[in-house]
Amino acid sequence: MTTATETRAFEAEVAQVLHLVTHSLYSHKEIFLRELISNASDACDKLRFESIANPGLLSGDPELHIDVSWDKDARTITIRDTGIGMSRDEVVANIGSIASSGTRRFLEAMGSDQKADARLIGQFGVGFYSAFVVADRVTVLTRRAGTAPEDGVKWESDGRGEYTLEAATLPERGTTVVLHLKDGEDEFLDGWKLRGLVRKYSDHVAFPIRMPKQTPAGDDDSDDNKADDAPEWDTANDASALWARPKSEISDEEYQAFYKSLGHDFNDAAAWTHNRVEGSQSFTTLLYLPAKPPFDLMMGGRDERKGLKLYIKRVFIMDAAEELLPNYLRFVRGVVDADDLPLNVSREILQHNRQLERIKGACVKRVLDLIEKLARDEPEKFAAFLKAFGNTLKEGIVEDAGNRERIAKLLRFASTKSEGEAKTVSLDDYVGRMAPGQDAIWYVTADGHRAAAGSPQLEAFRAKDIEVLLMSDRIDEWMLGNLHEYAGKPLKHVAKGELPLDEADKAKQEEATKAAAPLLEKLKRLLGDRVEDVRVSARLTDSPSCLAMSEWEMAPHLAHLLREAGQDVPENKPTLEINPAHPLLQRVEGETDDTRATDLATLLLEQAELAAGAPLPDPAAFVQRMNRLLAG
């Protein structure tokens, strides 16, 4: 083994993170301690899991613990763990470079605000670098469990773009991180301050966090932790699994503190549910609803989810959100501790494990129960929750057929009878005030609330005082492709298919169609193959034209979005519906100049396309056509 010191440059993205950390102004500098203790706890968790199959990894020191100490004279803070440790290659991979895209997303989030809070660091899997918030030099000494003492590694960096690596003989396994503090950071050399931070952020870490014993305030040596004195250690945290304690013994403050340490969040959770299931399969769940979207949800999306932690008999197994909760509940944070899953379980086995499927079903039920309780008992909190996670929840309409009705019951929408853009109308509200004889739930989709509220297809519904749900989120059209009915009532788009008309309306429609037959033929001739058909509309009362779609046709705004995303969407010729009583249609009917008539007819079609959210095929030609008509 070479003992020479090797100097390497950080990966470009890591160097950018370090630059932000060392040159930006941050609040909550104390976050560094939480992140380093969290890393140490993960290392202990990994060793405990690996030692199940290989007990020899614990030889020499069977205890798993984390030590936090400080030295006022040297101006250092040391965090040491007896966990799994790292080999030289792992040090390079874990500290010198980042394999995931977490760092890149962190940089994107920080790029728009150089004064963003340091708390963001932990949410992107780059928590180690928080050390440089308070330190101008960091030293790491580490040896992987199961390797010889001479296989240790020393890593050191000042955070300015390079780091050094050299071999080190280390008598004990695990990792030691030494922070050499910057000038002005002396507050973190106070033992009582550090102990308070441990209690605040890491009290529920499941391993003992030891600190040198301190004599009462006023003793001359109360805060000194000299290198030549062997310290006497005591445990600064509870070091117990909170979820394993009886609910009656846990305060709301303790639940919130555990959530914050679990989810890297400074905000309180909106709600939580803590349950113990006994029987042929026993397990405990502690599940939280965040009050605000964590950055890893919004930026990591569906492919990178670490919402729940899976334990088996309090042994950490993995971040296993995809096995424990479906995609649409990826915002949930918490732990699941099972008593009787096989301890040598792997991801592949988990995905096909019947016991885990039962746990997953129980977790889904608990989460939906919790959201329903929030909606029933705390409407203000529920409204904030829906604003943050409503669109994510809508994915469940497609993904979870068994709970489709329960999920639909929780959703809220704007409507033609609600105030402004506020999404306050539930499907139950709508069904409860349906007009006599109305047999469908009517809705309109658009790429924005104003576009939905101003849709010309709503005119006949407003005239008849029929409520219409205004759906303006981009996910709505996709969701409604799977929500065909609710409470026995079909959901229908106001622009799709034929409107149900009573006998008087049918007679009126037939009469209007017969009277407008020459105009319809003229428009079909003028528009040619740009339209599938032209017909008299039963939907319009004030506007001159609108588009109509078949029952299964995709809305124009959604088709446009999918094409922009590179999806292959078949082209559909629109059906143009007209209001023959409108002056523009009468002008077309009386126009003898074929060129001007064509301009007018095309303008009617393009107006309808714009109102439906479809892009114009030739905007320049539209402007020229409009100018010709305006000029007379």
Would you say 134 and 188 are in contact if contact means Cβ atoms under 8 Å apart?
Answer: yes
What is d(CA 70, CA 185) in angstroms, rounded to the nearest whole number?
A: 13
The contacts of residue 63 (CB under 8 Å, 6+ apart) are 82
Instruction: State the pLDDT at residue 28.
Output: 67
Instruction: State the pLDDT at residue 265.
Output: 76
What SS3 state is found at 595?
helix
Q: Which of 38-47, 161-170, 260-269, 323-332 has the lowest mean pLDDT?
A: 260-269
Instruction: State the pLDDT at residue 391.
Output: 93
Instruction: State the pLDDT at residue 551.
Output: 78
Q: How sure is the predictor about 108, in pLDDT bands with cuts at 50, 70 and 90?
A: low
Residue 78 above 90 pLDDT? Answer: yes
Tell me how far CA of residue 277 lies from CA of 49, 283, 289, 357, 363, in angstroms: 24, 5, 20, 15, 11
What is d(CA 127, CA 108) in angstroms, rounded to the nearest whole number?
A: 16
Residue 68 above 90 pLDDT? Answer: yes
Would you say 527 and 602 are in contact if contact means Cβ atoms under 8 Å apart?
Answer: yes
Tell me how far CA of residue 150 lies from CA of 61, 86, 154, in angstroms: 17, 13, 11
What is d(CA 329, CA 318) in angstroms, rounded to the nearest whole number?
A: 18
Q: Which is it for strands 269-277 and 233-235: parallel, antiparallel or unpaired? A: unpaired
> HEC string of 368-421?
HHHHHHHHHHCHHHHHHHHHHHHHHHHHHHHHCHHHHHHHHHHCCEEECCCCCC
Instruction: State the pLDDT at residue 111.
Output: 54
Q: Where are the alpha helices (DSSP H) in 82-121?
A: 88-91, 102-111
The contacts of residue 97 (CB under 8 Å, 6+ apart) are 10, 11, 14
What is d(CA 622, CA 342) in angstroms, rounded to the nearest whole number?
A: 67
Q: Is 325 exposed, middle or buried (0-12, 13-18, 19+ CB in 10 A)?
A: buried
Instruction: State the pLDDT at residue 286.
Output: 96
Q: Is 565 exposed, middle or buried (0-12, 13-18, 19+ CB in 10 A)?
A: exposed
What is the average pLDDT score of the chain? 84
Would you say 163 and 10 are in contact if contact means Cβ atoms under 8 Å apart?
Answer: yes
Residue 538 above 80 pLDDT? Answer: yes
Tokens of 530: 């740009």
What is d(CA 125, CA 148) in angstroms, rounded to the nearest whole number?
A: 29
What is d(CA 91, CA 175) in angstroms, rounded to the nearest whole number?
A: 11
Residue 301 above 70 pLDDT? Answer: no
**Residue 301 Rama label (left phi>0; alpha psi -120 to 50; beta):** left
Q: Which is it for strands 152-157 and 135-143: parallel, antiparallel or unpaired? A: antiparallel
* Opening angle at CA 116, ends 139 and 205, nearest 5: 55
Residue 125 above 70 pLDDT? Answer: no
Tell me how far CA of residue 193 lies from CA of 33, 210, 255, 485, 525, in angstroms: 11, 15, 23, 59, 83
pLDDT digits (tens, 9 = 90+) for 423-452: 999 999 999 999 888 899 999 998 889 989
pLDDT digits (tens, 9 = 90+) for 173-211: 999 999 999 999 999 999 999 998 888 778 778 889 999
Would you say 415 and 468 are in contact if contact means Cβ atoms under 8 Å apart?
Answer: yes
pLDDT digits (tens, 9 = 90+) for 372-406: 999 999 999 999 999 999 999 999 999 999 999 99
**DSSP secondary structure letters along 542-581:** SSSEEEEB-TTPPPHHHHHHHHHTT------PPEEEE-TT
Q: How many CB atoms lie within 10 A of CB 224?
A: 16
What is d(CA 321, CA 562) in angstroms, rounded to the nearest whole number?
A: 28
Q: Which is it for strands 545-548 and 485-486: parallel, antiparallel or unpaired? A: unpaired
Q: Which residue has the tokens 């803590």?
A: 274
Q: How many CB atoms lie within 10 A of CB 410?
A: 21
Q: In the structure, how many helices (H) and strands (E) does the chain have?
A: 22, 22
Tokens of 180: 């050499």
Q: How many CB atoms lie within 10 A of CB 464?
A: 11
The contacts of residue 537 (CB under 8 Å, 6+ apart) are 545, 546, 548, 577, 578, 579
Tokens of 249: 């013994």
What does the chain come to in residues? 632
What is d(CA 552, CA 554) in angstroms, rounded to the nearest whole number?
A: 6
Tokens of 267: 């905000």
Q: How sure is the predictor about 23, in pLDDT bands with cuts at 50, 70 and 90?
A: low
**DSSP secondary structure letters along 434-493:** PPTT--SEEEEE-SSHHHHHT-GGGHHHHHTT---EEE-STTHHHHHTT--EETTEEEEE
Tell me how far CA of residue 41 lies from CA of 109, 145, 190, 192, 287, in angstroms: 27, 15, 23, 22, 21
Q: How sure is the predictor about 489, in pLDDT bands with cuts at 50, 70 and 90?
A: very high
What is d(CA 29, CA 312) in angstroms, rounded to the nearest whole number?
A: 34
**Top-confidence residue, 314 or 596:** 596
The contacts of residue 213 (CB under 8 Å, 6+ apart) are 231, 232, 233, 234
Residue 138 above 90 pLDDT? Answer: yes
